[in-house]
């Protein structure tokens, strides 16, 4: 999601879904509090644009932290589901074991309720009695073994329930944190839009001037061959997203942030990418910018807080920032930190 010298247009689609925030996201969002609150009357247009740039960059860093937390939350939810399923199956097993033990205990009571020697004397079939007594001895040993199994199963079940409780508490804590810090990020983005609206029309137009496709018609030709068939499929998906809105925290198909667009595009090629741009930069083999081929991922800034897909001819496709649709921009629009071939 590239917040780089481009204005966010008022009235943009803000149907943002709430993602889960980790401690890292809390730190990043807290840093936003230090950002400039608005344009002072004496500010020059260039000062205002610089403030907007800083607000967008800080918000982008925070949003990538949100995405990382969301990915972690997805894993937690899957773990919780598995633990709950294991607890349910463990309880069913314990119930069956208890039923079996109860049946064995009843049989022993019925067969052993009379003194064995007297039972032998009164028996009309001593051989049959001895055979039954031998069986009961084996039943007793089996019952002792099953009782031990039951005790072990109960301990395991208690541990699994405790684990589920811990993970659910972690999820609940994350929900509380994200609700607070999501408001902080959106507040800073609103300030950025307010700053842009304070500029004269010609200054706003100048801020937004860039090389761009302008929509889904007349897409530029690829500059070279894709590095693989999966890269070709991801390129086709990314090009199909041209013109779709930037949506904070979204990964398609109707809206995207920067890393969400990369994840969705490669998913259409059957390739699973991590959720964040920082993780995506390590999802394949890194090459130099001079070796870049269509389909390669281009990460920006030292912290890889923004990412796009190289299309050749010195262009990338990316989701820039709130209010700006998915579009083409020059590969050198920001400092390039890495190029990754998937």
> Which residues carry out catalysis?
258, 306, 318
198-206 contacts: CB < 8 A, separation 24 or more? 198/38, 198/39, 198/48, 199/7, 199/45, 199/48, 199/49, 200/45, 203/45, 203/48, 203/49, 204/7
The residue with tokens 């998906």 is 237
> CA torsion, points 69, 74, 77, 81, in degrees to nearest 10?
-160
Q: 306 to each of 57, 62, 81, 279, how far by Cα in Å? A: 9, 11, 33, 11
User: What are the respective helix, strand and coil percentages of the chain, to the nearest 5?
Assistant: 55, 10, 35
Calpha distance 241→247 (Å, rounded): 13
Calpha distance 68→273 (Å, rounded): 12
DSSP three-state, residue 239: helix
Residue 339 β-bridge partners: 287, 298
Is 58:301 a contact under the CB 8 Å cutoff?
no
Calpha distance 324→6 (Å, rounded): 8
Q: What is the DSSP letter of 2?
A: -
Is 316:299 a contact under the CB 8 Å cutoff?
no
Q: What is the DSSP letter of 317?
A: E
Residue 7 token pair: 């204005």
The residue with tokens 């649709």 is 325
Is 31:337 a contact under the CB 8 Å cutoff?
no
């Amino acid at each position: 999601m590239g917040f780089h010298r481009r204005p966010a247009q008022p009235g943009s689609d803000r149907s943002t879904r709430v993602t889960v925030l980790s401690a890292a996201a809390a730190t990043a969002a807290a840093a936003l509090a230090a950002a400039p609150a608005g344009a002072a009357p004496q500010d020059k247009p260039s000062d205002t644009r610089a403030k907007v740039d800083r607000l967008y960059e800080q918000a982008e860093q925070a949003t990538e932290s949100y995405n990382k937390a969301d990915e972690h939350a997805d894993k937690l939810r899957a773990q919780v589901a598995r633990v709950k399923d294991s607890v349910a199956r463990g309880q069913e097993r314990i119930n069956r074991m208890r039923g079996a033990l109860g049946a064995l205990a009843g049989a022993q009571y019925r067969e052993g309720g009379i003194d064995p020697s007297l039972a032998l004397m009164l028996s009309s079939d001593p051989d049959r009695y001895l055979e039954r007594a031998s069986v009961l001895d084996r039943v007793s040993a089996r019952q002792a073994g099953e009782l031990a199994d039951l005790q072990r199963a109960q301990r395991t079940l208690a541990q699994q329930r405790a684990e589920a409780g811990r993970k659910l508490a972690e999820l609940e804590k994350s929900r509380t944190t994200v609700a607070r810090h999501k408001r902080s990020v959106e507040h800073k983005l609103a300030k950025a839009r307010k700053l842009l609206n304070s500029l004269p029309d010609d200054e706003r137009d100048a801020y937004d001037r860039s090389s761009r496709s302008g929509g889904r018609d007349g897409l530029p030709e690829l500059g070279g061959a894709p590095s693989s068939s999966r890269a070709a499929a991801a390129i086709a998906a990314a090009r199909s997203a041209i013109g779709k809105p930037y949506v904070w925290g979204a990964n398609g198909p109707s809206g995207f942030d920067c890393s969400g667009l990369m994840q969705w595009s490669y998913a259409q090629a059957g390739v699973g990418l991590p959720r964040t741009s920082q993780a995506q930069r390590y999802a394949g083999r890194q090459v130099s910018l001079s070796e870049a081929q269509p389909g390669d991922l281009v990460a920006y800034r030292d912290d890889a807080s923004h990412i796009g897909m190289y299309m050749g001819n010195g262009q990338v496709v990316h989701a820039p920032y709130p209010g700006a649709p998915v579009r083409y921009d020059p590969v050198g629009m920001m400092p390039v930190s890495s190029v990754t071939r998937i």
